[in-house]
Structures are given as structure tokens and as C-alpha cells.
Amino acid sequence: MGCLRPWARFALLTVAHLLALGLGAVVLQALEGPPALQVQARLRAELTTFQAEHGACLPPGALEELLGAALVAQAHGVSSLGNGSEARNWDLPSALLFTASILTTTGYGHTAPLSAGGKAFCVVYAALGLPASLALVAALRHCLLPVLSRPGAWAVAHWQLAPARAALLQAAGLGLLVAGVFVLLPALVLWGVQGDCSLLEALYFCFGSLSTIGLGDLLPGHGHHLHPALYSLGRLALLGYLLLGLLAMLLTVETFSELPQVRALVRFFESSGPPTADDQSSIVLQDELALSTLPPATPAPEQAPAC
């Protein structure tokens, strides 16, 4: 494949990406289509039974209007079921979690602004907050990556490992550590605390949060009649987990992106044209560095003038 032109490599990568999208859509359609039809059929049967029993007491279309209003409210995170603390979607802990979901691009979708002012503020807040969050992440990356590279340097010095192998072991160890501390352990805690959540659903939630997918179909404590103090504590714990877990995930991804194997794969899709100005400037700097390290030339002995 090294003989392929750059445009052919990009075309190959684009086709592979489109095939992956199509394959994912076909698999999800096959897996999720039948359960969705079963839920829809069960809901229609329950509505038919309810209308048969109470149809004489309800005007035509009243039940559909009530269900439509409830679904619209539910789409904005407002529920009329029960009187638990989760009905207060805009208390301080819930608002903090909402702003964190904006700045981390997780976007659980369990809560959405209702007012025009709230929607406009979200646009301005995200437009200003996302660059600030990226700057903070870049600063933390600059400070933490040298610390994370010390185990690899220690392995190279003490175990006489090749730098490429030491980098691979370091990335694998960091990936296992992050997966255990920020995915498996929180999933086990969530599985034990929330009784109606399976272990697979807990893993699904943790991975969806740290990958910023944030589908929002599962949220710890949401829809449960919890004490207000426990509800607020759970929201704050989820906020801390989201911020720390995303930072750990980004550092792990950055560590893997620096592997020689990954860099070689990226260079395969780079253009093979003439070097750019940046490349030429870097070459000049390298030449200057190489010349500056050369030992000073010894002057040649003076020759006597010819007669």
C-alpha cells in the first residue's frame, strides 16, 4: 500500500469510514428494531385497554393531548410523576451538572432550557466556555504528560528496554489503569447502589460519559425518589467523576497517539509532496543544531611563503 498516492489513501480511508457507518446502522437496526416494535405494540394495547375501560369518562382525544403534553415536558427533563427531589431540575447541583455537560460536550440530554433566554445563554456560554475548557485541558496536558512519561523513561534506563517497547507498555498500563479506576470501579459502585441498573448498563453509562457520547437514557439517581441531600450529593459526585474521568481519558488518548505505531499510521495518510515552510524551517533548525554541536575546527599551520 506504500505505492498508493495520497489522494488514493484518503479515498480509501473515507470509504472505510462510510462502510463502518453503514455496518453500525445495519447492526443497530437489526438489534433495536424488534424491541422498539414490541414496546410500541405493548403501549398501544395498554392505551386500547384504558380507553375501553374509561372511554365514557374522557372526551375524544383528551388522553392523546395529555400524553403529548407529558412527553414534551419529559423531553425537557420535567416530570409530573411523584414529588421526589429529582423534579427540581434547576437546583444548584443539577445546574452545575448541566453546565459541566455543556463544557465537556457530553450533553446527557436529560435536561434542556425551556426559556428563550436560557437557550440564548447556552449558546453564548458554550461559545465562550468551550475554548476556555480546551485551553485548560492543553495546560493540564502540558503539565501532566511529562509526569506520565517518567515510568517509560525509568523502564528504558533500568530494564534496558527499547524506547518503542517501553512506550507501548506505558500506554497499555495507563489504559488499563484508567479503564479500571474510571470505568470498571464506578460501574460496580453504580450497579450496587442503583438496584434497577444492571452491570452492563452501568458499564454502558460510564463508557458513554467518558467518551462524551452521553446518550442520556441512563442517569444515576434520575427517576428515583431520593432524599434531597442524597440527590444533591449524587449530582456533585457525578460532576466530579465527569471532569476527572474526561481528563484521564484525554491523557490516555494523547499517550496512545504518541506511540510510534500510531504516528506511522498517521504519516501513511499524510501528503508526500514537497516539504512545507514549517518542514523546511524545522530542517534548518536541525541543521543549525547539528552544526553547533560540531567541535571547533583547528586552524591550519601557517605555511612559509614560497621563495
Residue 250 CA to its chain's centroid (Å): 8
Could you tell me if residue 301 is inside a domain?
Answer: no
Domain hosting 182: range is 88-269
Q: Are both 115 and 40 inside the same structural domain? A: no
Average pLDDT of the chain is 74
In a domain, 177, yes or no: yes
- The pLDDT tens digits of the residues spanning 111-151 come to 777 788 888 888 898 898 888 888 888 888 788 877 777 77
Looking at the fold, whether 240 and 126 belong to one and the same domain comes out as: yes
**Both 42 and 98 in a single domain?**
no
Q: pLDDT category, 81, cuts 50, 70, 90?
A: low
pLDDT band at 180, cuts 50/70/90?
very high
Q: Are residues 95 and 232 in the same domain?
A: yes
The answer to whether 135 touches 156, Cβ cutoff 8 Å, is: no
pTM above 0.85, yes or no: no
Distances (CA, A) of 205 to 82, 233, 239: 25, 18, 14
The whole-number pLDDT of residue 300 equals: 47
Both 128 and 212 in one domain: the answer is yes
pLDDT higher than 50, residue 32: yes
Query: At CA 220, angle to CA 253 and CA 81, rounded to 5?
Result: 145
18 and 95 in a single domain? The answer is no
Number of structural domains (the chain) is: 2
Pair 252, 173: CB distance under 8 Å: no
Question: Is pLDDT at 295 greater than 50 in this prediction?
Answer: no
Whether residue 298 is contained in a domain is answered as no
Closest CA to 75 of 119, 123, 111, 116: 111
Q: Which residues contact 161 (CB under 8 A, 6 or more apart)?
A: 155, 169
Q: Do residues 149 and 232 both lie within one domain?
A: yes
- 164 and 265 part of one domain: yes
> What's the grid cell of residue 14?
473515507
- Structural domain includes residue 148: yes
Q: CATH number, domain at 157?
A: 1.10.287.70
33 and 177, same domain (yes or no): no
The reply to whether 9 and 105 lie within a common domain is no
